[in-house]
Amino acid sequence: MTLGSVMAAVDSTIVTLAFPSIVEFLGSNFVGTVGIIMSYLVVLAVFTTQFGRAGDIHGRARLFNLGFAVFTISSLLCGLAPTISFLIAARAAEGVGAALLVANSAAILTDTFPRNRLGRTFGYITMAWNTGALLGIILGGTLTTLLGWRYIFLINVPIGLVGVYLGRRYLRDVNRVQVESDLTGMVLLGIALSLISYSSVDLAASGLTYFNGLLLVGGFALIAITLEYERRDENPMINLKAFANRVLRFSLMAAFLQNIAVLAIALLLTTYLQGIRGLSPLDASLLLLPSSIMNIILAPFTGRMTDRFGSRIIATAGIACVGVSTALLLTVGLTSPYYVVALSMAVSGIGGALFYPANNSAVMANAARGSYGVVSGLYRTLQNIGTLGSYVLAISVLSLGLPRSVAYQVFIGTTEMLGGLTSSYIQGFHVALEVSLLILLVAGLMSYDRGKDTRVSTELS
């Protein structure tokens, strides 16, 4: 499970540093470059809930192992891609593999460990994820510089083969649900998430239009229809009765909002360091490392604290730390010292180490037995939609004062802003940070308002 988290995290950060090389080698235009990111994210958002439900019925370990195989094969295809269209299609296939992995991982852990040790368990998984993110930053710059961009995908192949072997050897299916598949609910939710996801892509690329606005409204309307259908269905994919649990309900929403705010900040900061300060993608990403380092150091300890004291205060304190980090970035200008950025990232890392193990364990500890897969899938789906939302937030706010194509090109490191564009960027940067602060405030209120999360306490060791 840890190996799967590391591989998925490496893939989440390693691609960004190679964008200039990919664009130059394959001759991608703006829409094609957006597609490299969004094809993966959209597929991940659409399929995660469905694969979580399928794992409950057909076996979580079986689908998790299938995810390793699909991810490995599609990574090989990404590395061999002859054209930008082929790469986008292979990235979408990677998204299918990743959805199989993440939809079932938390459910497998919940099946394996008692509830009073879930905090510690998710603490180690959070540590693994941030280790992978850190490795992605280092490997992305190193492999692209020394061997070429194809190796950022090919490196997944040996890791994936080891994962397939270990998964088949050690993972066993337990607690399958003997019910019929809710195909209608799966199709309805899949279409709804597809509409919302595609509207987000189009909004980031083209700005607000009648077309993407209609898609967005239609997607949310279809979600309402899906929920009403699920309420009436005898074997629903999403058992709405589970959300009568206040801790589960508010933990899911806190995670959704936290993801929007935090990832938007990372996108904005990367753009600032490359476009305003003129740093290379690798040097810019190195300033983000304090966040991963603090997460790696603290997550196992904060996970054990969650087992002892519950999730409410620890998760809310994590959101507060991210808010302090964001407030520090509001002081950043055209010539601010780099240590301000590094300090902000360190505080953000402390916040992540507090929030994610606590919130993840709260969600899974309060899920009903037999619905671990669908709750895990829904949790990841909300986080993935939050990721899409963060991208849209960052690019859209920046584009209020900049041409949209310039804002995106600066983000991927293919150009730098000159002259009056820098002042416009700083204004948009601060506005976007203020929006993120407001989102974090709402997330913090939901996290605190979840109520007491009672666990059987364990001794710290």
Closest of 41, 39, 126 to residue 384, by C-alpha: 41
Residues 117 and 218 grouped into a single domain:
no
At 178-199, the pLDDT tens digits run 556 667 877 887 788 778 777 7
Q: How far, in Å, are 200, 224, 329, 356, 425 from residue 396 at the CA level? A: 10, 26, 19, 27, 12
pLDDT surpasses 90 at 318? yes
Joined tokens for residue 214 = 């209609």
Single out the residue in 198, 218, 234 at which a domain terminates. 234
Q: pLDDT category, 80, cuts 50, 70, 90?
A: very high
Residues 103 and 155 grouped into a single domain:
yes
At 48-71, the pLDDT tens digits run 777 877 777 778 888 889 999 999
Q: Is residue 228 a part of any domain in this protein?
A: yes
Single out the residue in 234, 251, 267 at which a domain terminates. 234
Residues 254 and 360 grouped into a single domain:
yes
What is the Cα–Cα distance from 27 to 270, expressed in whole angstroms? 23
pLDDT surpasses 50 at 456? no
Q: Is residue 458 a part of any domain in this protein?
A: no
DSSP 73-89: HHHHHHHT--SHHHHHH
The enclosing H or E element of 379 equals helix 372-398
Closest of 441, 449, 411, 446 to residue 322, by C-alpha: 441
Residues 202 and 253 grouped into a single domain:
no
**Would you state the pLDDT for residue 180?**
62
What is the Cα–Cα distance from 441 to 362, expressed in whole angstroms? 20
What is the Cα–Cα distance from 82 to 80, expressed in whole angstroms? 6
Q: Is residue 454 a part of any domain in this protein?
A: no
Mean pLDDT calculated for residue range 299-328: 89
Poorest-confidence range of 58-67, 233-242, 353-362?
Answer: 233-242
Residues 158 and 218 grouped into a single domain:
no
Dihedral sign, Cα of residue 59, residue 100, residue 366, residue 179: negative
Kindly compute the dihedral angle of the four CA atoms of residues 55, 88, 282, 142, in this order, to the nearest 10 degrees.
80
Residues 170 and 192 grouped into a single domain:
no
Single out the residue in 218, 234, 250 at which a domain terminates. 234
Q: pLDDT category, 93, cuts 50, 70, 90?
A: very high
Which of residues 135 and 207 earns the better pLDDT score?
135
Which of residues 277 and 158 earns the better pLDDT score?
158
Above pLDDT 90, what percent of the chain? 14
pLDDT surpasses 90 at 411? no
Residues 127 and 193 grouped into a single domain:
no
- CATH assignment of the domain containing 364: 1.20.1250.20
**Would you state the pLDDT for residue 12?**
67
Q: Is residue 456 a part of any domain in this protein?
A: no
409-413: long-range contacts, CB 8 A cutoff, minimum separation 24? 409/30, 410/271, 410/274, 410/275, 411/267, 411/270, 411/271, 411/274, 411/275, 412/16, 412/19, 412/20, 412/23, 412/33, 413/17, 413/19, 413/20, 413/274, 413/280, 413/281, 413/284
Residues 137 and 194 grouped into a single domain:
no
**Would you state the pLDDT for residue 458?**
39
CA angle (433 as vertex; 428, 438 as ends), nearest 5 = 125
Poorest-confidence range of 120-124, 272-276, 438-442?
Answer: 272-276
Q: Is residue 290 a part of any domain in this protein?
A: yes
At 114-150, the pLDDT tens digits run 877 887 888 888 788 777 777 777 777 677 777 888 8
Residues 95 and 122 grouped into a single domain:
yes
Residue 265's domain comprises 2-182+235-448
Q: Is residue 455 a part of any domain in this protein?
A: no
Q: Is residue 460 a part of any domain in this protein?
A: no
pLDDT surpasses 80 at 395? no
Q: pLDDT category, 76, cuts 50, 70, 90?
A: very high
Mean pLDDT calculated for residue range 360-367: 82
**Would you state the pLDDT for residue 212?**
82
pLDDT surpasses 90 at 396? no
Q: Is residue 453 a part of any domain in this protein?
A: no
Q: pLDDT category, 89, cuts 50, 70, 90?
A: very high
Q: pLDDT category, 72, cuts 50, 70, 90?
A: very high
Mean pLDDT calculated for residue range 256-272: 77
Residue 293, phi then psi, degrees to nearest 5? -65, -45
**Would you state the pLDDT for residue 459?**
38
Neighbours of 334 (CB within 10 A): 11
Which of residues 41 and 339 earns the better pLDDT score?
339
pLDDT surpasses 60 at 417? no
Residues 23 and 38 grouped into a single domain:
yes
Using only C-alpha atoms, the chain has a radius of gyration, in whole angstroms, of 21
pLDDT surpasses 90 at 6? no
SS3 category, 416: coil
Q: pLDDT category, 175, cuts 50, 70, 90?
A: low
13-28 burial, b at 16+ Cβ within 10 Å, e below that, comes to bbbbbbbbbbbeebeb
At 30-50, the pLDDT tens digits run 566 667 777 787 787 778 777
**Would you state the pLDDT for residue 189?**
77
**Would you state the pLDDT for residue 416?**
54
Mean pLDDT calculated for residue range 16-30: 70
Mean pLDDT calculated for residue range 422-451: 84
Dihedral sign, Cα of residue 375, residue 49, residue 260, residue 134: positive
Residues 325 and 218 grouped into a single domain:
no
**Would you state the pLDDT for residue 117?**
80
Q: pLDDT averaged over the chain?
A: 79
pLDDT surpasses 70 at 460? no
Residues 229 and 152 grouped into a single domain:
no
**Which of 9-13, 242-246, 252-256 ranks highest by mean pLDDT?**
252-256
Q: Domain count of the chain? A: 2
